[in-house]
C-alpha cells in the first residue's frame, strides 16, 4: 500500500513542478544552513576525550579572597605556584599534573640553521598516561625523573621529522635554550581540539599541537618562564623580580589536572581541597573561608566558555531559517492539497478513509523531504567549505562532513517535511465528499 501511495505522490508532484520545486528549494536551503551550522557546532562542542573525560577534573583554589572574585563569584582559573606544588606533594589523585606553557627554542643539529621556536608545556610524568597521549617511539618519563628534574623531553611528531627525519630519536639529545635534553619519547600526531589540558592558555582551539613536553621541575630549574597567561591580585604583584619572584607570589599561572576514578574519590578530593584551604587559613596565608571548586572536564570546558558565541549564534540563526522554510512549506502544501478537493471528494465517495487520504498526502510530503534532503546534502558540503567566510578559521577547520552528518541531514529533511505536511494532510482528509460532488 505504501508503494501505491508513493506512486500517486510522484505523479501528483510532476503535475505541479513549479510548486514542487519551490518546496524542495525551501527544504534544501533550510537543511543545508542548519546542518552546516551543526557541523561547526558539533566540532567545537564535542568531548575531546570521551572515553576518559568523566574521570578528569580541574581543581580551583581561592587564593585571593572574596574581594577579588569579581561578578562571577568564582575563584581563579589557575593555581599559584605554592598551591600547585602542595597538591603535587600530597598526591591525593590517582594521577595528576601541574602544567604551564613554555616557549623555548631548539637548536638544529645543523649549526648553520637558525634556532626553531617551539610551543610546549612543562608537566609531570603522570600527564601522559592520565591523558592517554599516543606515542610513536618510547614513552613519557618516570617519577624519578620528575623528582630529579632530569633533562629529558618528549617531542612531537612534527618536530621529530624536522630534526631527525622522522626516525626513532629516543636516546638522542636536543639542544633547548642552550641545554641538552635527552629524548625519551616521540608522540604520534596529537592535537586534541579543544586543547583540553590547558584551555586557560591556549584558548582551546587552533595551532598544530604541542611541539614538546619537559619535566616541570627541570623547566623551573632552567628558569624557563611561563609563556601562558599570568594573573595577579590587586596590589599582589611579585615582590621579587623575574621568574623567581613569580614563583613566590600569589599570582596564578599554573593549570592543574587530576584523575579521580570514582565518586568516592571525587568526594574525598573535594574534602581534601577544603582541608588544605582551612590549613592555609590557620597559617595566616588565607584570611577567608574555603571557596574551592572541583569540576569535571566537560563542566570545566563549559565554565571556560570553550564553545564560542559565534557558533551558538550561527546555530540559532540556522535553526530559525529552517523553521521559516518549514512554515513556508506548510503554506505551499496546504495550497497544493486543498486545490485537489474535488479529487479528494471523489476518493472519499468511492470508499477511501480519512486515514488513507492523509497517508497519501504524507507520502507526498516525504518525497518532497527526500528531494530536499538530497539538495541539502549538496548545500551542506558547500556550506562547510565556505564557513570560513563567517567564522574564525581555527573553528571552521574542525568541521567536516561524514556519513553520520549526511544521514542526519536526510532524516531531518524527511521528518521536518512530514511534520510540515501533517496539518495540510489532516485538513485535506476532512474534505466533505457530498459538498465537493455537489459542486462538480
The 10s digit of each residue's pLDDT in 133-169 is 999 999 999 999 999 999 999 999 999 999 999 999 9
Share of the chain above pLDDT 70, in %: 79
Q: Which residue has the higher pLDDT, 76 or 312?
A: 76
pLDDT at site 437: 45
Q: How far is CA 268 from CA 94, 263, 308, 369, in A?
A: 12, 9, 33, 54
Compute the average pLDDT of residues 391-396: 56
Given a contact cutoff of 8 angstroms between Cβ atoms, the answer to whether 38 and 259 are in contact is no
* CA gap 171, 183 in Å, rounded: 5
Over the Cα atoms of the chain, what is R_g? 31
pLDDT category at 213 given cuts 50, 70, 90 is: very high
Q: What is the model's pLDDT at position 351?
A: 55
H or E stretch covering 354: helix 354-386
State the pLDDT at residue 389. Answer: 59
pLDDT at 339: 65
Mean pLDDT of 6-13: 62
236-248 average pLDDT score? 77
pLDDT for the residue numbered 302? 85
φ and ψ at residue 97, rounded to 5 degrees:
-160, 135
Average pLDDT of the chain is 82
Greater confidence, 436 or 419? Answer: 419
HSE, side-chain direction, 13 A CA sphere, residue 185: 20
pLDDT at position 98 is 96
Q: How many CB atoms within 10 Å of residue 286?
A: 20
Q: What number is the average pLDDT over the span 115-144?
A: 94
pTM higher than the cut 0.85: no
The lowest-confidence range among 8-17, 191-200, 218-227, 279-288 is 8-17
Task: Decide which of 33 and 7 is more confident.
Answer: 33
* Rounded Cα gap, residues 13 and 1, in angstroms: 19
Mean pLDDT of 382-386: 74
* Highest mean pLDDT of the ranges 64-68, 114-118, 169-173, 376-380: 169-173
Are 36 and 401 in contact by the 8 Å Cβ rule? The answer is no
- In this structure, the strands spanning 105-107 and 179-187 are unpaired
- pLDDT higher than 60, residue 394: no
Q: Is the pLDDT of residue 312 over 90?
A: no
More confident residue, 324 or 82: 82
Identify the pLDDT of residue 249.
87
pLDDT of residue 13 exceeding 50, the answer is: yes
Instruction: For residues 16-25, give the mean pLDDT.
Output: 79
Amino acid at each position: 500500500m505504501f508503494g501505491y501511495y508513493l506512486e500517486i505522490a510522484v505523479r501528483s508532484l510532476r503535475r505541479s513542478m513549479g510548486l514542487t520545486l519551490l518546496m524542495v528549494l525551501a527544504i534544501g536551503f533550510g537543511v543545508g544552513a542548519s546542518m552546516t551550522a551543526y557541523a561547526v557546532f558539533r566540532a567545537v562542542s564535542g568531548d575531546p576525550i570521551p572515553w576518559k573525560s568523566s574521570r578528569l577534573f580541574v581543581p580551583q583554589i581561592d587564593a585571593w579572597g572574596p574581594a577579588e572574585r569579581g561578578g562571577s563569584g568564582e575563584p581563579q582559573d589557575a593555581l599559584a605556584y605554592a598551591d600547585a606544588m602542595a597538591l603535587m606533594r600530597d598526591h591525593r589523585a590517582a594521577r595528576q599534573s601541574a602544567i604551564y606553557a613554555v616557549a623555548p627554542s631548539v637548536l638544529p643539529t645543523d649549526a648553520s640553521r637558525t634556532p626553531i621556536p617551539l610551543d610546549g608545556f612543562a608537566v609531570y610524568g603522570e600527564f601522559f598516561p592520565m591523558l592517554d597521549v599516543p606515542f610513536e617511539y618510547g614513552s613519557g618519563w618516570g617519577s624519578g625523573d620528575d623528582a630529579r628534574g632530569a633533562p629529558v623531553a618528549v617531542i612531537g611528531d612534527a618536530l621529530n621529522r624536522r630534526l631527525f627525519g622522522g626516525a626513532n630519536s629516543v636516546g638522542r639529545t636536543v639542544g633547548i635554550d642552550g641545554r641538552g635534553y635527552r629524548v625519551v619519547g616521540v608522540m604520534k600526531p596529537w592535537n586534541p581540539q579543544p586543547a583540553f589540558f590547558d584551555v586557560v592558555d591556549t584558548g582551546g582551539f587552533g595551532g598544530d599541537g604541542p611541539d614538546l613536553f619537559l619535566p616541570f621541575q627541570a623547566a623551573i630549574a632552567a628558569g624557563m618562564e611561563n609563556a601562558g597567561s599570568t594573573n595577579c591580585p590587586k596590589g599582589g604583584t611579585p615582590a621579587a623580580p623575574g621568574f623567581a619572584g613569580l614563583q613566590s607570589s600569589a599570582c596564578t599561572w599554573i593549570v592543574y589536572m587530576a584523575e579521580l576514578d570514582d565518586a568516592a574519590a571525587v568526594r574525598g578530593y573535594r574534602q581534601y581541597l577544603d582541608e588544605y584551604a582551612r590549613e592555609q587559613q590557620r597559617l595566616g596565608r588565607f584570611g577567608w573561608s574555603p571557596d574551592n571548586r572541583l569540576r569535571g572536564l566537560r563542566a570545566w570546558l563549559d565554565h571556560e566558555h570553550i564553545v564560542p558565541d559565534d557558533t551558538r549564534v550561527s546555530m540559532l540563526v540556522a535553526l530559525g531559517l529552517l523553521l521559516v522554510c518549514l512554515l513556508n512549506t506548510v503554506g505551499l502544501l496546504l495550497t497544493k492539497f486543498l486545490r485537489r478537493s474535488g479529487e479528494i471528494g471523489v476518493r472519499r465517495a468511492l470508499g477511501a478513509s480519512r486515514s488513507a487520504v492523509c497517508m497519501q498526502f504524507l507520502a507526498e510530503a516525504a518525497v518532497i523531504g527526500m528531494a530536499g534532503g538530497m539538495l541539502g546534502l549538496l548545500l551542506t558540503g558547500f556550506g562547510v567549505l565556505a564557513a570560513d567566510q563567517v567564522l574564525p578559521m581555527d573553528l571552521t577547520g574542525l568541521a567536516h562532513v561524514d556519513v553520520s552528518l549526511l544521514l542526519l541531514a536526510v532524516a531531518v529533511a524527511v521528518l521536518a517535511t512530514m511534520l510540515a505536511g501533517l496539518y495540510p494532510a489532516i485538513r485535506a482528509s476532512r474534505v466533505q465528499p457530498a459538498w465537493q460532488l455537489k459542486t462538480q
